[in-house]
């Protein structure tokens, strides 16, 4: 393994450790429920325990690890069917309202950012044989966050962000629930949003949330969550 030691500045090292551990949790190479030993991880990465502790605190705030008294950290369990339904109920309450507000406000700079984000999503799916689920998940999160920004209610935006909905849906079924359907539906939201047609934008968002929920529910019905191969010690990264 390439050592992370010697990188500068300190924040860059912390960000590298965070990105690495977060990626392994999201892909399942650190499986749900597995204990993450700070000293073992630090030794594997050839770094001090400090950036590993900082990373685990950040991952706890994202809901990707739990801290257990006297036992340290472990990767959180996957969402179950009821958890997913609760998240989609929240989405249905908040996101149609947000896109309606965004269409009525029609903030030109933010609308341009949303256009650019959609184009990035389209670029990701131009070749369906090379679609990256992780990149599509990140696009999905950015697209919806920009709509919350455009709606102009920071409290609602932050409340939704704390659910880390997209992270957990991706982690549950990352190879099944993100595909070019997501991008097509984003385009159907953007067109009326840019036109200031609040009613049509709201309906497009409702359809998108319902379609996304249906895709994830089909995943529950068809198979167990997929995980990458696991070979022993969670510190073996």
pLDDT per residue over 161-215, tens digit each?
Answer: 888 887 777 776 554 555 678 899 999 999 999 999 999 999 999 999 999 999 8
SS3 75: strand
Distance CA 36, CA 20 (A): 13
Kindly state whether residues 69 and 127 are assigned to the same domain. no
Question: Residues 99-133: pLDDT tens digits?
Answer: 999 999 988 999 999 999 999 999 988 887 776 77
Residue 154 has a pLDDT of 95
- The mean pLDDT value of the chain amounts to 85
Decide if 26 is inside a domain.
yes
Say which CATH number the domain at 145 has. 1.20.120.530
For residue 50, give its domain range.
10-75
Kindly state whether residues 113 and 15 are assigned to the same domain. no
Kindly state whether residues 26 and 125 are assigned to the same domain. no
Decide if 2 is inside a domain.
no
What's the DSSP call for residue 56?
H
Kindly state whether residues 217 and 109 are assigned to the same domain. yes
Q: Over 60: is that where the pLDDT of 235 sits?
A: no
Q: Of 20, 52, 75, which residue sits at a domain end?
A: 75
> E strands, the chain, where?
35-36, 65-68, 72-75
Q: 224's torsion region: left (phi>0), alpha (psi -120 to 50) or beta?
A: beta
Q: Over 50: is that where the pLDDT of 231 sits?
A: no
Say which CATH number the domain at 64 has. 1.10.10.10
Kindly state whether residues 34 and 130 are assigned to the same domain. no
Residue 229 has a pLDDT of 37
Q: The pTM is what?
A: 0.78
Domain count, the chain: 2
């Amino acid at each position: 393994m390439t050592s992370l030691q010697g990188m500068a500045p300190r924040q860059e090292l912390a960000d590298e450790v965070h990105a690495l551990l977060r990626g392994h949790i999201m892909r399942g190479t650190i499986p749900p429920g597995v204990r993450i030993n700070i000293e073992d991880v630090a030794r594997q990465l050839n770094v001090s325990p400090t950036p590993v502790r900082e990373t685990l605190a950040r991952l706890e705030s994202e809901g990707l690890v739990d801290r257990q008294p006297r036992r340290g950290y472990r990767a959180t369990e996957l969402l179950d069917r009821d958890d997913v339904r609760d998240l989609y109920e929240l989405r249905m309450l908040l996101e149609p309202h947000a896109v309606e507000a965004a269409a009525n406000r029609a903030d030109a700079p933010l609308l341009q950012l949303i256009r650019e984000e959609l184009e990035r999503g389209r670029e990701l799916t131009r070749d369906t044989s090379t679609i990256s689920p992780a990149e599509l998940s990140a696009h999905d999160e950015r697209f919806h966050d920009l709509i919350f920004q455009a709606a102009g209610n920071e409290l609602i935006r932050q409340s939704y962000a704390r659910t880390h909905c997209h992270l957990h849906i991706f982690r549950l079924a990352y190879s099944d629930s993100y595909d070019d359907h997501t991008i097509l539906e984003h385009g159907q939201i953007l067109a009326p949003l840019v036109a200031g047609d609040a009613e049509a934008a709201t309906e497009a968002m409702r359809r998108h949330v319902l379609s996304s929920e249906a895709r994830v529910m089909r995943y529950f019905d068809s198979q167990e969550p997929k995980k990458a191969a696991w070979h022993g010690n969670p510190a073996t990264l």
